[in-house]
Every structure is written in structure tokens, then in C-alpha cells.
Amino acid sequence: MKEYLDRLGSRSILTKVSDQVSVDYDIASILLSLEDKPIIFENIEGFSIRAAGNLFANRDLLALGLGIQGPNLVSKLQDAIDSPSDSKGNVAGFSESSWDHNERADLSKLPILKHFENEAGRYLTAGIVVAKFPNSSSENLSFHRMLVLDKDKVAARIVPRHLNQIMKEGRGEKIRVSVAIGPPPAVFVAASLQTKFGASEYNIANKLNGEKLRLSNSELSEIAYPSDTEILLEGWLDASDQADEGPFVDLTGTYDEVRRQPVIKFDRMHYNDDSVYQAVVASSSEHSLFMGLPQELKISQALSNSIPRTRGINLTPASNGYFHCIVSIDKGNDGDGKTAILNCFAASHPLKLVIAVDSDVDPFDLSAVEWALATRFQAESGLVVISGARGSSLDPSSGKLAVTSKMGLDATLPIKADRSKYARANLKFSNRSVSVLKALGFQIGPAHASQSAKKIAEPTATM
């Protein structure tokens, strides 16, 4: 992660906070208040280790971390999933000299944050749990929030995906795990993606990293960890040892329920004098981005197999990048609007609302989307309602069984519609009008045809 922090610093993107702050509420409140700015805290009361957050708060930062140029983020991620690169040849043995501190686990030495009032305690939120697949030399990487119970124990929220399956196949036996905090960006991104059981996210990260990912075996097992990780914890996941986990403020900014969850007991802890603890604040734009990206990839794949062309997919920020989706499409026949809606729902079970618009409507311009609904949508023909469908437990309105209702709004025009009746008028700018607007501190937007007159001239940003 150090290389990425240096990159942020060299571009004057990284905000450094030298004033003393507390792990209890201070850091979380600052990160959430400035959620689009990467921040490093250099003076944390009671700790020698620094902390950083908002490191991948938006797509531009994520692309910078991965070294991706232009609007190719989703296609690059999909390519890495489809064509991963074997990382096993990159694994070196454990070396004590790689760490300044190689000691018995003591979580009280790490600046683990308490984020919100009424949460159960301090939570690890950016730790990647690494475990071997059963009867395999490959590792599974996954994010799990972890409530600190003691100096060497956490309760990990484990949803029914790969790590849960690994536990089940362990038939009640304890499972050796490592937790990597502050890995290289490619590993952080890969761990957030949804892959097939048995496929190692290290291979995806290796592809994203130009096949230069460096791995090392941990001290106590053959589990590989990223060599450039800031902090490494090693221990055992015990499904038979459970503790209350929660309350915790999750994606929607609401408190999740208390559950009995498995305990991880750590044996060893490795870090350096200049290590940086990484945190992700729940309900932040960074949290939404990493929850939404896997859904966007699945939606993109589903639409590519069913719709002639997709102009854009917007998992809206106000829905935490998870529950509402706007898709802009080119239609080949009159059923494509509803087909797109149904395919989105089929691809991403958390979705509750999908709006389909024509390709002349920018799905990221919410005023343009609302205009399309006002001028092109008719409820009697364009409304799709699905009842009793699988939803997400993160939606407090879906209940404990996560059963929800879904709504689609087809605001696309019929193929044979006279589009001249629905086209927005263009403003014509002369050199003089452009000069006047610039003198008034405005600049001309690039997409005149899809914007209203009030929207065409945007004030020049000043800081």
C-alpha cells in the first residue's frame, strides 16, 4: 500500500492530519465528513501506528491505484476475472526480516476504530480474511467486519458465501486463517469481487497488477499473504466458538442486528514501525463503491448477453450503489426495455428499483433521467412489479428473511416512435455568448443536447 500512498502524495491528493485524534469517533467522523478525500492520520492518541481511510473513495482513485487509464475500469476487472493469471510462482517463503515486529497478537496495539455511537465496540473493517480452499493449494480472499472481543479475539460477520462454505466443509474443525490489512490496491479490489468457489482472488490481483504481485507464505502455515501488506494477523477461525456480533452500522447507515458469529483467535501479529492501518467507514462512498462494483459487473454481463448495446450503468450513490440501478440502452426491439429490467434483477438480487432509459439519456444525470420519466414513461405499459423476491439483509425494510418487492420503470421509447417529438432542443452558442458566459464565471457543458438551458452553463469550481 505504501506505493499507492506515495502516488497519492505526489499528486497532492492525500490529506495529512497531524493534529492528535482519537480512535473513538474522531477518525470515523472526519473520514465520513470528507468521504471523497483520502486521509492519513499521523498522530493518533495512544498509538504509534498511523491510520488511513477513504483511499478508494471513488472510481478515479480506484483506477489510479490499479494504474488503469480512461473509462476502462469495469472492462479491466471483468478481463481479470475471466482470464486470471496464476500467482503461485510469485510466492516466497516467510522471512522474519520482512517485519520490524513479529510477535504475539495484541490488537490493542492497532488503531482500530469505533465508528458510530451504539456500536458494540471497535471494528476491523478493511481486513481481508485469507483461507485455503479445501483440498487445494489456492486461497480464498474475502472481507468481513470483525468486532474486537479481546486482545487476540474478534467475532467475524460471515455471510453464506465462500468462507462460510469452507467452514462447512471443515466439518466443525478449526480453520487456519490470516488477516491482511493494507495490501496493494490490486489485492484489495480482487478481494471485493465475487468469483466462483475455488477460484483464488490472488490470480485476479496478479492479472490486475501486470503479473507482478509478490506473495509470501505466512509464519504458521502455508497460507500466502501479499508481501507488501502493512499488517498481518495469523490465527484460527472456530465455527464452534461463537459470540454476539453487533450492533454495527452497515451500508445503509442503519444499525444491523446482533447475531451469533464465529470467533477468530489470533496467534501472531506482524507489522513495521512505519505501518499504516487501513480503515473503511461503513456507509461511506468507499463502502458503496466496493459493494456496488461486483453487482455492476454481473449486471454488465447480463445486459451484454441480452441487449444490443448498453451506454451506461448507474448504481446510484443515494441508494448506496446497491439498491437502485439506471441503465441506458439501445433497443433492438420493443421488448428490450423490460428485458433489460428483468435481466438486471436476475443478475443482482439486492436491486429494488431499475429504470431503463434510451441511449440519448445520460444515466448519471439524474435530472435527465427524471425528465425521461416525465416525458417517456407510462405506468400502464412501462411499470414492472415483482413481489416476494429475494432481496438483501442490508435493507431494513426487507425483514429477517430478506424478501422484498421490486419495481422496474421502462422509460424507453417504442422503436417506431417519432423521436422528433421527444428530442430536447439544442441551444446554439455563438462566440459572443460563450465569451459572456466565461466572463461571468461559467463554462459550457459538453453535452448540450441532453441538458436543459439552466444546466448547460455550470459554475467554475473554486477551492
Fold assignment, 2-274: Pnp Oxidase; Chain A (2.30.110)
> What's the pLDDT score for residue 27?
97
What is the CATH architecture of 286-421? 3-Layer(aba) Sandwich (3.40)
pLDDT of the residue at 68: 87
The 10s digit of each residue's pLDDT in 84-94 is 999 988 888 88
Q: Do 2-274 and 286-421 have matching folds?
A: no
- Low-confidence residues of the chain: pLDDT under 50: 447-463
- Predicted local distance difference test score (pLDDT) of residue 222: 86
Give every CB contact of residue 75 below 8 A, 6+ residues apart in sequence.
Answer: none
Residue ranges per domain, the chain? 2-274, 286-421, 426-463
At 440, list the grid cell. 461571468
Residue of 26, 250, 360, 362 marked catalytic: 250
Q: Is 250 a catalytic residue?
A: yes
Whether the Cβ atoms of residue 23 and residue 113 lie closer than 8 Å to each other: yes
**What confidence score (pLDDT) does residue 462 get?**
33
> What's the pLDDT score for residue 344?
97
Q: d(Cα 129, Cα 459) in Å, to the nearest integer?
A: 45
